[in-house]
Chains A and B, each alone.
Chain A
Amino acid sequence: MLKDITLGQFYPAESKIHALDPRVKLVGTLLYVVSLFLFHNLAGFLLATAFLFFLIHMSKVPVSYILRGLKAIFILMVITAIFNVLFTPGTTIVHVWKIRITWEGVRAAVFMFIRLTYLVMGTSLMTLTTTPTRLTDGMESLMAPLEKIHAPVHEVAMMMSIALRFIPLLVDETDKIMKAQMARGADFESGNFWRRAKSMVPILVPLFVSAFRRAGDLALAMEARCYQGGEGRTKMKPLVYGRNDGKAYAVLWIYFAAMILVRIFLNLPHVPLLGH
């Protein structure tokens, strides 16, 4: 169950998307996420879908890999969908006892479901095609102006890259602890919410202890390798925009403009569920 989190798992491949500057991918992901909340009709939806699958195809990352990230938030998506179906006012389709299902509710649920799916797929695509170091390098570089107001940009970036590196380890460890506890008869699955929450304590305690130990070890290892903060540090892979990055920015902004135009001008005729 815990293994489903793909966050921070790099998928090595040689593709144009992998080679892009992380800043392009970060800005791109941000624009894409915003664009997901722009569409409200079939045309916008089709455009967002086409763009996403075009990028996935270019990235050479198997779709199954990208979908893996969804499992972790599936429950959240289902709950969101149910709330949308039940609590959106509009034209009633079905009315049983106090429950009223509306056209608008179903439509909102479907759209929200798609939006969340694409949001996860889009961000997964970014993390799968960018090494954590490049990703944080990108953030560090995009945030660099904040250093002027003494924001600890380098430190935060370093913390994030370390967190990303250790998430899979901690996930593995949680799995191991859970199995060890289950082998001794611990039960994480049954009981009410309160009981289940309480049964998590024996997992969290050893997990925290081990995380602190790791942090101590890591700090020592970093110090032993002359780490002394961001000052005077050089980079193996400094961020330099290439020709493809310019093109990618162009494609991105064209896509984004298209999404805005579609929202403003293009209202396709009524299509059941998805139409307006």
Chain B
Amino acid sequence: MGIIKTNHVSYDYVRVNDEGVEEEKERALEDVSIDVYPGSFVAILGANGSGKSTLARHLNALLAPSEGTVWVDGMDTSKEENVFPVRREAGMVFQNPDNQIIAGIVEEDVAFGPENIGVPTKDIWKRVEEALEKTGMAAYRMHSPNRLSGGQKQRVAIAGTLAMHPKCIILDEPTAMLDPGGRREVIETVAELNEKEGVTVVLITHYMEEVVYADHVFVMQDGKLAMEGPPREIFSKVEELQKYKLGVPQITLLAHELRKSGLDIPEGILSEEELAEAICRLR
């Protein structure tokens, strides 16, 4: 079993009125089963409102499933006593860089998590140092978060979860509010953590380019799991992706069009180099 596993999970957002009577129910997740192996890099794609954030919140025990079960490192997240251990194992980074930094100084913000779980002072310092080192933010440790760029703020947020020594990190559209430079900065940091530290990564994103780093991709549509597979396989189904309102990377699209017009180019091209190579091989 993987480090994160969901088994036929469904979730309803329920609106209750003042008397506590159920008024309205909205199904945000429907029968979702995923399995994430330790040390892997998983991407979750999907159009707006397809339930990505809702799923992410289940992986960190911020929400408990209405039906089905979620296990993180073997712990059932719906059990009260597992909530904090789960949050410790699965760190979470959110979309808006400004709204997840709690302290007014970078190093103090990174320390927030370890402080909450009662790590002794001396170890907190060690963890903060490590986490800032690993995210390349050590030079900014005394800075105010307000003066950092968006990409840097997200790296601080990543450091903040790292300092809790999680086994996996869940990132909910961490690059949605960043410029292309900041986006690359954040994704490269995440990819490096995955590769060097073996941290399991669940990356939720709108940007197809970021999926290149993933070992496995889940595509969501209307609260259901629509596709699943390695990126190359997913990207070879251009028409299906477009059906789910997902923009395919331009290079993949170009390769797809070339193939459709009769050239012998493989499906699922992910980078310019690959396409160049494939074209060279034509002759």
Residues of A in contact with B (beta carbons under 8 Å apart): 8-10, 12, 131-133, 161-162, 164-165, 168-169, 213-214, 217-218, 220-228, 232-238
Contact = CB atoms under 8 A, between A and B. Distances in A.
B35 to A, nearest CB: 22
Given A223-B62, A224-B60, A217 B99 contact: yes
Interface of B: 60, 62, 84, 87-88, 91-92, 94, 96, 98-105, 107-108, 111-121, 124-125, 128, 142-146, 160-161, 164
B110 to A, nearest CB: 9
Contacts of A168: 146
Nearest to B113: A225
16 contacts: A12-B142, A131-B105, A161-B103, A217-B94, A218-B99, A218-B102, A221-B94, A221-B100, A225-B87, A225-B164, A226-B84, A226-B164, A228-B84, A234-B115, A235-B115, A236-B107
B121 A214 contact: no
Contacts of B107: 236
A212 to B, nearest CB: 11
Contact of A221 (B88, B99, B124): B99
Contact of B102 (A9, A165, A233): A165
Given A12-B142, A218-B99, A224 B62 contact: yes
B115 A236 contact: yes
B75 to A, nearest CB: 14
B88 A226 contact: yes
Contacts of A224: 60, 62, 87, 91-92, 94
Contacts of A227: 112, 116
A131 B111 contact: no
Given A12-B143, A234-B124, A236-B125, A221 B108 contact: no
Given A9-B144, A236-B125, 7 more contacts: A10-B104, A131-B103, A225-B87, A225-B116, A226-B117, A234-B120, A234-B124
Contacts of A9: 144
A225 B169 CA distance: 12
A187 to B, nearest CB: 30
A93 B98 CA distance: 57
A10 B105 contact: yes
Contact of B108 (A162, A232, A236): A236
B79 to A, nearest CB: 16
Contacts of A161: 102-104
A235 B100 CA distance: 19
A88 B94 CA distance: 59
A3 to B, nearest CB: 12
A12 B143 CA distance: 8
Contacts of A237: 108, 121
Contacts of A217: 94, 96, 99-100
A234 B121 contact: yes
A100 B105 CA distance: 53
A234 B119 CA distance: 6
Contacts of B92: 221, 224-225
A198 to B, nearest CB: 30
Contacts of B96: 214, 217
Given A221-B99, A221-B100, A233 B118 contact: yes
A221 B157 CA distance: 10
Given A214-B99, A218-B102, A234-B124, A131 B94 contact: no
Q: Which 8 A-B pairs have the closest CB atoms?
A: A217-B99, A221-B100, A236-B111, A132-B104, A224-B92, A226-B116, A225-B113, A236-B124
Contacts of B99: 213-214, 217-218, 221
Contacts of A226: 84, 87-88, 113, 116-117, 164
Contacts of A133: 103-105, 108
